[in-house]
Amino acid sequence: MLYICLISGIDFKMLKDQTYCDITVVIPTHNSEKFVIETIMSVINQSLKPKEIIIIDDHSIDNTIDVIEGIFQKQGIVNHRIFKQKKLSPGAARNKGIQEAKTKWISFLDSDDIWFQNKLEKVYDWILKNPQSNFFCNDEIEIGLNKKEKLNNYFSDFDFKKSISGQLFKKNYFSTSAITCSRKLLMEFGGFNESLSSAQDYELWLRISPKLNPIFICQPLGYYVMRKGNISTTQYWKRLKNIIFIKRIHRSKVSKIIFISNLVKVILHHLLLPFLIFLKNRITSKL
């Protein structure tokens, strides 16, 4: 596995504790030249700065690296490192960021999502007030392919009285760009499963769930952006295959009845969703 460090920012000794929080922002990129500027600027413009931004490019064939370098050259002194790797996966890219980080906390951000300016300030305040927790998830505003916005409230039907593993098995309550997690916890469980081309985040949340002590921040602190060509809208059937695989390897976390019923529900959902979208578009076009 080949990694090349292209750029390094300033040394940690130059950072002032009162200005920076103990968080590294990890951003994987792949052919992101058209939207990565807004993503990175949303981190640079944070009201409370991260100690470091680590960007791992997963073999982009466009001008992503040049665009990123240009951002930091214009912004001046920003503590950052950029790594370039051969085509592996978003999970492998995030793992590299986790391994390289020197902070206690990791915040993930996909290269097409955007944070609100007060994201890290709010999250770090929750971290300081809840030292027993090792995992923080904030709400997001989802921007659909039709540009319509909706609130993603991840806490809406979560029940702390029930098993975290059992609830996660039935539904993924966490969005990667909304997560800030203890680096120690991520390292303990070996990070993301690099063999999966999608849903690596869901598999990791399930794997670490026995030791998860989450806090839900019921406030939108970023935009989750749906785009044609990102992992959320392509490779639809491959994603279904990966989810079935994940359910199978974590089946011990639930009863046999729940395993079977949830598996059937997931398969039916993926089979029916394309038809329902097609039907909706047909009806809309006739109005």
Judge whether residue 14 has pLDDT over 90.
Answer: no
The tokens of 239 are what? Answer: 């994603």
Within-domain flag for 275: no
Mean pLDDT of 131-157: 95
pLDDT tens for 52-83 read 999 999 989 999 999 999 999 998 778 999 99
Range of the domain at 16: 3-234
Within-domain flag for 266: no
Is 3 or 246 the better-scoring residue by pLDDT? 246
Q: What is the pTM of this model?
A: 0.88
Within-domain flag for 46: yes
The tokens of 5 are what? Answer: 């460090």
Q: CA 223 to CA 234: how far, in whole Å?
A: 19
Q: How many domains does the chain have?
A: 1
Write the CA distances from 126 to 14, 105, 176, 187, 219, integer angstroms: 26, 13, 18, 22, 12
Within-domain flag for 259: no
| Residue whose entry in the numeric block shows the structure tokens 């460090």 | 5
CATH number of the domain that residue 13 is part of: 3.90.550.10
Is residue 84 within 8 A of residue 55, CB to CB? The reply is no
Q: CA 103 to CA 129: how far, in whole Å?
A: 18
Beta bridge partners of 5: 83
Within-domain flag for 176: yes
Beta bridge partners of 151: 141
Within-domain flag for 244: no
Within-domain flag for 242: no
